[in-house]
Amino acid sequence: MNIIGRLTKNAEVRTLSNEKQVVNFSVATNESYKNKQGERIEQTTYFDCAYWISANVASLLTKGTLVELTGRISTRAWIGKNGEAHSGLNFHTSQIKLHGGGKKTETVQATTGTNNNKTEDDLPF
């Protein structure tokens, strides 16, 4: 599945007890549509994302950055300290593509674990 959205805060790297690192970040997606009454409805969905391939990508994932993510979604539910039920969406990210934010586009591939940098200077013409 692919989602496109903006980061809601800077990414954070966590190191687990087995020394494995995970990059955690949150992305908001926006959708708009007209209801039966013809009113425009704006809907925002938030995803908590995890990327396990390389912690180096965290420095590129800053608040407001537009990203295109490939991965899979899972849901979670919990009871808060106040007794209220909560739910959320997790996005297990396998590929990250950055859009905008300057002249370069970064793509991170899960299959190779590499970071391919392309700038306008790389164009053959």
Please, which pLDDT band fits residue 49 given cuts at 50, 70 and 90? very high
Please, which pLDDT band fits residue 55 given cuts at 50, 70 and 90? very high
- On whether residue 35 sits in a domain, the answer given is no
Quickly tell me which residue has 């608040």 as its tokens: 63
The pLDDT tens digits for 27-37 are 999 999 999 99
β-strand partners of 14: 22
SS3 category, 62: coil
Question: Domain tally for the chain?
Answer: 1
- On whether residue 36 sits in a domain, the answer given is no
> Are 53 and 61 within 8 A, CB to CB?
no
Domain that holds residue 114: 2-30+41-122
Q: What is the CATH number of the domain that holds 103?
A: 2.40.50.140
- Sequence-ordered list of residues with C-beta below 8 angstroms from that of 106, at least 6 positions apart, any chain: 57, 60, 96, 97, 98, 115, 116, 117
The pLDDT tens digits for 12-27 are 999 999 999 999 999 9
